[in-house]
Amino acid sequence: MKFLVIDDSATMRRIVVNSLKRIGYEDCVEAHDGAAGLAAFDSSVGFVITDWNMPNMSGLDFVKALRASGDGKGVPVLMVTTRSVKEDIVLAAQAGVNNYVVKPFTPQVLKEKIDQALGAVAGKA
Amino acid sequence: MSAPSDRSGLALHDSEATLRQVESALDEFSGSAGLLSFEEMVTDLEGHPAGLRDLVKLLIGTYTEIMAVIESLRQSRGLLEQAAMDRLKSTHEKLAEVSSATEVAAAGMLDGLDRALGLVDELASDGPDGSPSPDVPSASAGRTETADQLREELHQIMNLLQFQDITSQQLGYASGVLMDIEERMMRLVRVFDLQKVGMDELRDVLGEDRSEPGPRTQAQETCDPDASTLEAEERQALADEVFTSS
């Protein structure tokens, strides 16, 4: 499965991609903000992992735009962010995020949330 | 060492004490004029040389202006305290957390590297050409296990580097607060001719009605003011609760 990893921090992108490879997902494309993420997204992407706070287009705006597009309506989206205020988490859920990981995370938590998001999307299909 | 916000608070407290002293001295000055009101003083000077009357009027005018400035200073002091103190305090806490997170991550990485070096030593002891040492039974299985442990240690070290993103956001927030306060102070200096601008503009400069900084810069958009390396499990549990119930 192809992952799209969006984060303005190059360090975090490397850590997420490394964690994905460790749990068996080798195919990853990266983007440095929401706008670049939208440009990089196509029907070949099977899972999106996005940060929230980014320049140009935030992760929240990215998810809203993605959900409004044809190909992006059903793709699982995991938000990986430092934002942990309840109102923010609720906003993310309302925007169409399938699961949520608070930084700093462990690879185990990342895997657990990816599996849950994939399971939920498969259940709906 | 006291926190910057404590020192700022003390400075503001001292400024209030200074204002009181100046006000008291001016009150004494007006009182020493023989318990006459200013109007009575001017009336009492009827018949005196015009130059003396003008001088007294000038002094009274100056006194009134100084009192108005003192009142403005007192109001601006209160507004400054309201606008800056809380945010300076949270900024100080963020910077302290950056220092702590850096130390914790560095210690974690050093511990991991120590363990990794021990594992490398174990691997090296198996044989110079990578072949199992004859005096180590089941050396091949042991090497695989050691290599797995080593891989785990190196992955953990990599994960510890998440602190860089989080502390970067904390520093970005702190920088934004300091720049915002600097900007307000500069505007305050420029508009401090209170005879011209009045308190309404002063309130606008000091942001009395705003708990947030002024217009957000791109740097601020990339920063989460609540970013933290602390209590990660509790914060994850809150997210799980929201997503489980939704």
Three-state SS for B182? Answer: helix
pTM: 0.69
Is residue B228 very low, low, confident or very high in pLDDT (cuts 50, 70, 90)?
confident
Is residue A25 very low, low, confident or very high in pLDDT (cuts 50, 70, 90)?
very high
Residues B106-137: pLDDT tens digits? 888 888 888 888 888 888 776 555 555 555 55
Residues B83-96: pLDDT tens digits? 677 777 788 788 88
CB contact residues (below 8 A), chain B span 123-182, against chain A: 155, 158-159, 161-166, 168-169
What is the nearest CA distance from B94 to chain A, expressed in angstroms? 14
% of chain B surpassing 70 pLDDT: 63
Higher pLDDT, A6 or B197: A6
Alpha-carbon span B52 to B42, nearest angstrom: 10
CB contact residues (below 8 A), chain A span 74-103, against chain B: 81-86, 89-90, 93, 99-103
Residues A45-66: pLDDT tens digits? 999 999 999 999 999 999 999 9
Of B222, B228, B243, the CB nearest to A55: B222
Three-state SS for A98? Answer: coil
Contact A104 B166 (CB under 8 A): yes
What is the nearest CA distance from A43 to chain B, expressed in angstroms? 26
Alpha-carbon span A83 to A100, nearest angstrom: 10
Residues A92-101: pLDDT tens digits? 999 999 999 9
Is residue B218 very low, low, confident or very high in pLDDT (cuts 50, 70, 90)?
low
* A-B C-beta contacts closer than 8 Å: 92
The alpha carbons of chain A give a radius of gyration, in whole angstroms, of 13
pLDDT at B197: 55
Q: Is some CB atom of chain B closer than 8 A to the CB atom of A46?
A: no
Encoding tokens for residue B28?
Answer: 């004494």
Which sign, positive or negative, has the C-alpha torsion B61, B66, B67, B71?
Answer: positive
Alpha-carbon span B222 to B173, nearest angstrom: 9
Please determine, for residue B36, whether its predicted confidence score (pLDDT) is greater than 70: no
Contact B159 A104 (CB under 8 A): yes
Contact A102 B235 (CB under 8 A): yes
Contact B224 A102 (CB under 8 A): no
Contact B161 A15 (CB under 8 A): yes
Cβ atoms within 10 Å, residue B32:
8
ipTM strictly over 0.90?
Answer: no
Interface-testing mutation among B221, B223, B228, with chain A (most A C-beta atoms within 10 A): B221
pLDDT at B213: 47
Which sign, positive or negative, has the C-alpha torsion A57, A60, A63, A64?
Answer: negative
